[in-house]
């Protein structure tokens, strides 16, 4: 499925058409003689990391890119930032072809990868900040003003003179974000920026990103496995599985599009009421004095009053299926056979 996504009122900042990336992977057989034979006759596979993706992102959008491990999310960000080149297809970011790596383009975007460091490990972050100033040829007064603002927003003033290797993961990530935003990029790519962070650090980064994005109208693409990141930051969600986009739209649409039921939780005074409720015919899970039902969305208004007439029901709640559960099921149903793996021999 190739989805161009919802159009934006603003002029597109990112335009992608038919973007695909393939990797050739060589198999190394086990055993000495098999390895020797492999020198003369190598077997390889062509793995499609992306399959002709189409996407348009407008200025100031904050877009979540979701997908299971190996879905192609990081590959997509590497293509848009010009780190790698595609096998086919086109992309323009801020009017530039990313893999041409024009100087003007490199000054206008930033990439933060949660598992990669851009700060010098043995030096204080302040030294890396000064290096960024020279690389991007930033005006001294503007650099200091921007640095101080970002440092204050994240509350890391006491950390900038401490060697990076002595900092915690959350402290390092905050300083990585400061470094990435010093040159005031128009586009920000974030690859799992909250991975491994505690709840407090995640919340601080959410608040920071919301503020920066709103103040600067920065276009942000975020990859993450944490639904809390998505709910806190993004109105638009792109779901990619096996190299294809399977959903592109508002976060709320995922619930409406990919679920057919609601979750009804009943707290019981009378345990004997459990048997009567189980006979309703809906999937039922008993957790002590609590019963959890999955009821068709279309039938909830008719069925709920009947259930409530049962003796022993003390309380009831009706909720949508948790977003994590919906997305996990969406990942599992992503038709893995569509990701072509071509066997070849050399």
Q: Which CATH number fits the domain that encloses residue 305?
A: 3.30.70.260
Evaluate whether residue 312 is within a structural domain. yes
Q: Is the pLDDT of residue 29 over 80?
A: no
Distance CA 12, CA 316 (A): 46
Same domain, 141 and 100: yes
Same domain, 208 and 147: yes
Which stretch of 88-92, 116-120, 222-226 has the lowest confidence by average pLDDT? 116-120
Evaluate whether residue 225 is within a structural domain. yes
Evaluate whether residue 50 is within a structural domain. no
pLDDT at 299: 84
Evaluate whether residue 120 is within a structural domain. yes
Same domain, 162 and 282: no
SS3 string of 65-103?
EECCCCCCHHHHHHHHCCCCCCCEEEEEECCECHHHCCH
Q: Is the pLDDT of residue 314 over 90?
A: no
- Per-residue model confidence as pLDDT tens digits over 135-145: 999 999 999 99
- pLDDT-based confidence at 331, cuts 50/70/90? confident
What percentage of residues in the chain have a pLDDT greater than 70? 86
pLDDT at 271: 66
Same domain, 214 and 153: yes
Q: Show which of 232, 256, 280 is a domain's final residue.
A: 256
Segments forming the whole domain that contains residue 225: 61-83+95-243+251-256
pLDDT at 289: 77
Which residue reads 């020797």 in tokens? 36
Q: Is the pLDDT of residue 323 over 90?
A: no
Which stretch of 98-102, 148-152, 167-171 has the lowest confidence by average pLDDT? 167-171
What percentage of residues in the chain have a pLDDT greater than 90? 47
Evaluate whether residue 19 is within a structural domain. no
Same domain, 196 and 281: no
Same domain, 234 and 99: yes
Sign of CA dihedral 135, 164, 179, 129: negative
Q: Is the pLDDT of residue 336 over 50?
A: no
Distance CA 278, CA 280 (A): 5
- Per-residue model confidence as pLDDT tens digits over 104-142: 999 999 999 876 778 998 999 999 999 999 999 999 999
Same domain, 166 and 270: no
Distance CA 125, CA 175 (A): 7
Evaluate whether residue 153 is within a structural domain. yes
Q: Which residues pair with 344 in a beta bridge?
A: 44
- Per-residue model confidence as pLDDT tens digits over 234-245: 989 999 888 888
Same domain, 274 and 194: no
Q: Is the pLDDT of residue 266 over 80?
A: yes
Same domain, 221 and 277: no
pLDDT at 2: 44
Task: Give mean pLDDT, residues 169-175.
Answer: 92
Q: Provide the number of structural domains found in the chain.
A: 2
Task: Give mean pLDDT, residues 22-33.
Answer: 77
Same domain, 168 and 266: no
- pLDDT-based confidence at 334, cuts 50/70/90? low
Same domain, 178 and 130: yes
Which residues have C-beta within 8 Å of that of residue 167, sequence separation ≥ 6? 159, 175
> What is residue 315's three-state secondary structure?
strand
CATH (domain of 131): 3.40.50.300
Same domain, 164 and 296: no
pLDDT at 308: 75
- The most confident of the ranges 130-144, 276-290, 296-310 is 130-144
> What is residue 316's three-state secondary structure?
strand
The tokens describing 230, both together, are 């998505």
Task: Calculate the average pLDDT of the chain.
Answer: 85
Which residue reads 């780190």 in tokens? 83
pLDDT at 346: 41
pLDDT at 1: 40
Q: Is the distance from CB of 272 to CB of 312 less than 8 angstroms? A: yes
Distance CA 187, CA 199 (A): 26
Task: Give mean pLDDT, residues 192-221.
Answer: 92
- pLDDT-based confidence at 151, cuts 50/70/90? very high
């Amino acid at each position: 499925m190739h989805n161009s996504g919802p159009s934006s009122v603003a002029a597109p900042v990112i335009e992608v058409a038919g973007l695909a990336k393939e990797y050739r992977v060589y198999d190394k057989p086990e055993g000495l003689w098999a390895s020797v034979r492999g020198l003369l006759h190598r077997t390889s596979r062509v793995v499609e990391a992306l399959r002709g993706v189409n996407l348009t992102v407008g200025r100031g959008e904050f877009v979540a890119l979701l997908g299971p491990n190996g879905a192609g999310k990081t590959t997509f960000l590497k293509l848009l930032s010009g780190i790698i080149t595609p096998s086919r297809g086109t992309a323009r970011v801020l009017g530039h072809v990313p893999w041409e790596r024009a100087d003007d383009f490199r000054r206008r975007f930033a990439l933060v990868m949660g598992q990669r460091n851009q700060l010098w490990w043995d030096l204080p972050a302040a030294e890396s900040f000064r290096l960024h100033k020279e690389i991007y040829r930033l005006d001294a007064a503007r650099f200091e003003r921007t640095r101080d603002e970002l440092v204050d927003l994240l509350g890391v003033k006491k950390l900038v003179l401490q060697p990076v290797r002595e900092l915690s993961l959350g402290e390092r990530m905050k300083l990585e974000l400061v470094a990435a935003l010093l040159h005031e990029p128009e586009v920000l790519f974030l690859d799992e920026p909250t991975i491994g962070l505690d709840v407090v650090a995640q919340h601080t980064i959410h608040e920071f990103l919301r503020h920066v994005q709103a103040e600067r109208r920065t276009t942000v693409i975020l990859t993450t496995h944490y639904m809390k990141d998505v709910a806190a930051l993004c109105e638009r969600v792109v779901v990619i599985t096996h190299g294809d986009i399977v959903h592109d739209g508002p976060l709320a649409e995922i619930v409406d599009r990919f679920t057919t039921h609601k979750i009804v939780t009943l707290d019981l005074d009378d345990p004997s009421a459990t048997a009567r409720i189980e006979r309703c015919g809906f999937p039922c899970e008993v957790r002590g004095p609590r019963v959890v039902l999955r009821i068709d969305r279309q039938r909830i208004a008719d069925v709920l009053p009947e259930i409530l007439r049962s003796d022993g029901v003390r309380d009831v709640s009706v909720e949508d299926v948790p977003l994590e559960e919906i997305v996990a099921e969406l990942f599992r149903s992503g038709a893995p056979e569509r990701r072509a793996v071509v066997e070849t021999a050399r």
